[in-house]
Amino acid sequence: MAHHLNNYSHHKPHDLLTSRLNRFPQGAPDSRLLEKILKILFSDREAELVAALPIKPFTARQASRIWSIGEAQTQKTLDSLASRAILVDIVQNDETQYVLPPPMAGFFEFSLMRLRDDIDQKVLSELFYQYLNEEEDFIRELFTEGDTQLGRTFVHEPALPDQQTLHVLDYERASEVIETADPMGVSLCYCRHKMQHVDKACEAPLDICMTFNTSADSLIRHGHARRVDVVEGRELLHKAYENNLVQFGENNMRGVNFICNCCGCCCEALLAAKRFAHLHPVHTTNYIPSLASESCKGCGKCVDICPVEALSLVSANSPHNPKKRRARLDKETCLGCGLCVRSCPTESIHLAPRREKVITPVNSAHRVVLMAIERGKLQHLIFDNHVLFSHRALAALLGVVFKLPPVKQILANNQVQSRYIERILANKGH
């Protein structure tokens, strides 16, 4: 065994891997269920090797040094892990870099995004269901820790009134992500596929969840997604609209890597939105339904279609018709998706801008830094014993920190406890 790994030989491989996963801003609480999941996805040897990998992207040469294994064998191991969507391999300028994605959105989902016989997907689905829906620690930590969340809701574009379409920003449109992505891939919906194996799936389309850009490139090359063009992408989005699916995607303006087309009964994000509504586990759109009580007939169609149960029927307080009911909106729970607009037969609902603008991180780096600061894990991004930060990488990360509000900067410096960063922050603007 490699010298580097010998130092940790007294630890169980999958315990080491769990510790590695918990260096991500969104962690993976340890449990017997998690251990069973990881043992299906990783052999003992793979768990030990992956546990030693850095958070930051790395090359085969860097992994070879970390593992003290020959570069040819290292390359073979990395490519094997990438072929199973454990690692994402990114090819840029004729160089391949590898990165271990977090469990979600990451290798948990990837394991069920195609039919495969190298793992027992039914057993894995049952374990996922228990870990995410019965134990709850993981899903609570994933969706409710901090102010900045992993995902955001995209507005249902056909529901926007004509006067609002002029004001909706490009990054708020799922259609814009589809139009500008290169490449785009489509895979099985992880959530509904998992629910099929536990006999809880709905009838919504399965082959409809979308990946983009670098993530899509890796998944397409290894057969976990099929490449689609813009035309088919538009068709799939229209299909999602017709099936009343909510577009839930990566919470950044630029370089969105995934959009899931979600139902309220299977989707982990929407289930979390119902279970932990008061903690705001999912970022909303910049829109909110406005209800016209006088024309509402109380039919309940909007109540039935709402994926997070933000609508209910209450008494209309009509002196002439005591049984008359009307729809009522819980604004704290509402995602602003707009599905209720298309369901209303009397056109009593329309989307209006929220009073307070929802802030969306510029890119994934901005989001990850914010999540790390809020969850007390910034030090894991800056200091990594396995691969030293380049000056360029450090400058990029600090550039994000410098643009944050003062309170976030203080939190960042307190976590890192660096005199260097403290001095830079103190001198910023001088």
| pLDDT tens profile 165-215 | 667 888 999 999 999 999 999 999 999 999 999 999 999 999 999 999 999
- pLDDT of the residue at 148: 86
- pLDDT of the residue at 8: 47
Comparing C-alpha atoms, which of 188, 184, 383, 189 is closest to residue 269? 189
Cα of 146 vs its chain's centroid, Å: 15
- pLDDT of the residue at 410: 62
pLDDT above 60: residue 421 = no
- pLDDT of the residue at 387: 46
- pLDDT of the residue at 365: 81
* Backbone angles phi and psi of 212, in degrees to 5: -140, 160
Task: Report the distance separating Cα 292 and Cα 109, nearest Å.
Answer: 40
Q: What is the mean pLDDT of the chain?
A: 87
- pLDDT of the residue at 218: 95
pLDDT above 90: residue 224 = yes
Burial track 88-123 (b if 16+ CB lie within 10 A, e otherwise): bbbeeeeebbbbbbbbbbbbbbbbbbbeeeeeebee
pLDDT category at 313 given cuts 50, 70, 90 is very high
Tokens 């990783």 found at: 42
Q: How is the chain split into domains, by residue range?
A: 3-101, 137-279, 287-353, 364-427
pLDDT category at 316 given cuts 50, 70, 90 is confident
Task: Report the distance separating Cα 223 and Cα 19, nearest Å.
Answer: 29
- Give whole-number Cα distances, 95 to 89, 98, 245, 323, in Å: 10, 10, 38, 69
CATH 3.30.360 fits 3-101, yes or no: no
Q: Which residue has the higher pLDDT, 187 or 293?
A: 187
| Mean pLDDT, range 69-98, rounded to an integer | 94
| Mean pLDDT, range 33-43, rounded to an integer | 96
- pLDDT of the residue at 424: 52
Q: Which residue has the higher pLDDT, 417 or 323?
A: 323
Could you tell me which CATH number the domain at 287-353 has? 3.30.70.20
* Backbone angles phi and psi of 353, in degrees to 5: -65, 140
| Mean pLDDT, range 129-138, rounded to an integer | 89
Cα–Cα–Cα angle for 133, 84, 368, rounded to 5 degrees? 60
pLDDT category at 384 given cuts 50, 70, 90 is low
pLDDT above 70: residue 414 = no
| Mean pLDDT, range 213-234, rounded to an integer | 96
If you count DSSP H runs as helices and E runs as strands, how many of each does the chain have, helices first? 22, 12
pLDDT above 90: residue 144 = no
| Mean pLDDT, range 337-347, rounded to an integer | 95
Flag the least confident range among 36-50, 162-176, 237-251: 162-176
